[in-house]
Amino acid sequence: MHVTELIRKKRDTAELQPAEIEFLINGYTAGQIPHYQMSAWLMAVVLRGMTRAELAALTSAMLHSGEVLDLSELAGPKVDKHSTGGVGDKTSLIIAPIVAAAGVFVPMVSGRGLGHTGGTLDKLESITGFNVNLSAADFRRVLSTCGCVLVGQTAEIAPADKKIYALRDVTGTVESPYLICASIMSKKMAEGIDALVLDVKTGNGAFMKSEQDAAFLAELMVETGERLGKRVVALLTDMDQPLGRAVGNSLEVAECLEIMEGNGPADLRELCLVLAAWMLYLAKRVATLEEGKTLAAEMISSGQAHEKFREIVALQGGDVGAIDDPQRLPQAQNKIDIPSPASGFVASMLCEQLGTASVLLGGGRERKEDSIDPAVGMMIHKKVGDQVTAKEPLCTIYYNSAERLERARPLIEQSYKIADAPPKKQRPLIHRVIGE
């Protein structure tokens, strides 16, 4: 097989065979195929797309480039959830304990903040001592002990994806639904799970701004998962405004605890219940979605989800005192309200801009090597459709540096649009469900 021929095939829209795709991925991962050939092939994929069979073969090759977890020693289904990333998107911390408390294994492998979006690992690390880098043995021990484990990706999982992602990042080949799908699904399929719920965000705070693009990615991921023998469903959910009220790492952990205590914002609670219901349904723990939602709500009202989260934190070395008393989570030294410039209704919010503001406050990384300030962020008091009077606080900024505040504040102020009347149409929380 000649690499140049395979590049030309893709360039000229011919379909590559699974063996040809494996040859490319294995050769590149092993360092036998140089970066410059892979980047040319990736650009051809970006501009020519892939057939569903090619995409499944690519995902499979990337998945099998490293360790594939075998969790068959644990009796019972294993389910995970993956979000494409958003602002205030903190559902993982709530769903994992709910589903584990209901008796389904959740081996959850998460990521860090990317661009304007937050990351589950960064949020967890705002709990002092919480260790997201477990050895393989500890991963199995925590999972088998409490039914759930919350970790980052290890070097052994899908090394082809790591190498390809680094190359895509510097060759203008990130923005391809096919390559995004293969990257996400190869990692998720390597976790030893039976089923997967995908939360595909759409709106001005998502990576896929348009519903059409988000739906296309969702369809690719669902079909790829099914071709690889897993039950997969994708929910297209709204990211035209932050989810819940908290944006920023320790603020979001505190909000998750509120939800698990039976309180907290309605939109966040609702999305968590629906996502958890789908996980329980795909795991066959319940016969209907309805039943799943009821069971998830019971896990909250009975305190079992909260107790499960406490158990996970303890097993992964975190300070359980912070779970019992969220005031022990890192607290910002200063806070300041952003007043509404006028009376009226919140017409819209620039959600990506709010995410960027949180990064500028120190809640995310501007460069890869930056460290994160877990305490900073914002609490959103007014969301789209809410009525507001002039000078009433739209949100409160939590900050530790006046200089950072000055960079972030204009972005936050300008992200709100106040109008005389409420918006004619409210966007739904869940736009569509794809799969199953």
Stretch that binds its own copies, among 51-59, 170-178, 186-194, 382-390 (CB under 8 A): 170-178
**Is residue 50 a contact residue for its own copies (CB under 8 A)?**
no
- Residue 82 a catalytic site member: yes
Residue with tokens 């040809």: 20
Q: Among 14, 19, 30, 47, indicate the residue that binds its own copies (CB under 8 A).
A: 47
The type of residue at 279 is: M
Helices (H), 283-370: 289-301, 304-315, 320-324, 351-358
CA distance 144 to 317: 16
Which of 128, 131, 171, 401 lies at the binding interface for its own copies (CB under 8 A)?
Answer: 171
Structure tokens at 342: 């006028």
Q: Are 420 and 389 in contact (CB under 8 A)?
A: no
Regarding 209 and contact with its own copies (CB under 8 A), the answer is no
Provide the 3-class DSSP secondary structure of residue 196. Answer: strand
Q: Which of 16, 24, 25, 46 binds its own copies (CB under 8 A)?
A: 46
- Closer to its own copies by Cβ: residue 148 or 164: 164
Question: Closer to its own copies at the Cβ: 34 or 410?
Answer: 34
Q: How many helices (H) and strands (E) does the chain have?
A: 17, 13
Among 17, 48, 347, 427, binds its own copies (CB under 8 A): 48
Closest distance of CB 12 from its own copies, Å: 9
Q: Residues 33, 55: contact at Cβ < 8 Å?
A: no
Nearer to its own copies, 92 or 176 (CB): 176
Choose, from 80, 122, 161, 194, the residue flagged as catalytic.
161
CA pair distance 226, 56, nearest whole angstrom? 9
| Interacting span for its own copies (CB under 8 A) from 3-11, 238-246, 308-316, 406-414 | 3-11
Query: Residues 83, 183, 340, 358: which is the catalytic one?
Result: 183
Examine residue 11 and tell whether it contacts its own copies (CB under 8 A): yes
In the block, which residue shows the tokens 């900050």? 399
416-419, strands of its sheet edge to edge:
387-388, 344-349, 416-419
Which range, of 72-80, 163-171, 314-322, 372-380, touches its own copies by CB under 8 A?
163-171
- Candidates 5-13, 98-106, 186-194, 341-349; binding stretch for its own copies (CB under 8 A): 5-13
Does the annotation count 161 as an active-site position?
A: yes
d(CA 405, CA 420): 29
Least Å distance, CB 167 to its own copies, is 6
Interface with its own copies, residue 1, by CB under 8 A: no
Instruction: Mark residues 19-38: x for contact with its own copies by CB under 8 A, - for none.
Output: ---------------xxxxx
Compute the least distance from the CB of residue 45 to its own copies, in Å.
Answer: 10
What is the chain's Cα-based Rg?
A: 22
Q: How many residues does the chain have?
A: 436
- Known active-site residue 90: no
Q: Which helix (H) or strand (E) holds 83?
A: strand 79-83
Give least dist CB 99 to its own copies, A. 39
Q: Is 64 a catalytic residue?
A: no
Q: Which of 74, 167, 228, 289 binds its own copies (CB under 8 A)?
A: 167
> Whose CA is closest to 316, among 92, 127, 153?
127
Mark whether 188 is an active-site residue: no
> What are the beta bridge partners of residue 117?
114
From 40, 143, 222, 297, residue interacting with its own copies (rule: CB under 8 A):
40
Q: Give the Å distances, CA to CA, from 9 to 18, 55, 86, 89, 98.
A: 13, 15, 36, 40, 48
Query: Is residue 17 near its own copies by the rule CB under 8 A?
Result: no
Question: Any residues with CB less than 8 A from the CB of 79 and at least 6 apart, and which?
Answer: 99, 104, 105, 106, 193, 194, 195, 196, 197, 279, 280, 282, 283
Give the residues lining the site for its own copies (CB under 8 A).
3-5, 7-8, 10-11, 34-44, 46-48, 167, 169-173, 175
Q: Which residues are the active-site residues?
A: 82, 161, 168, 183, 187
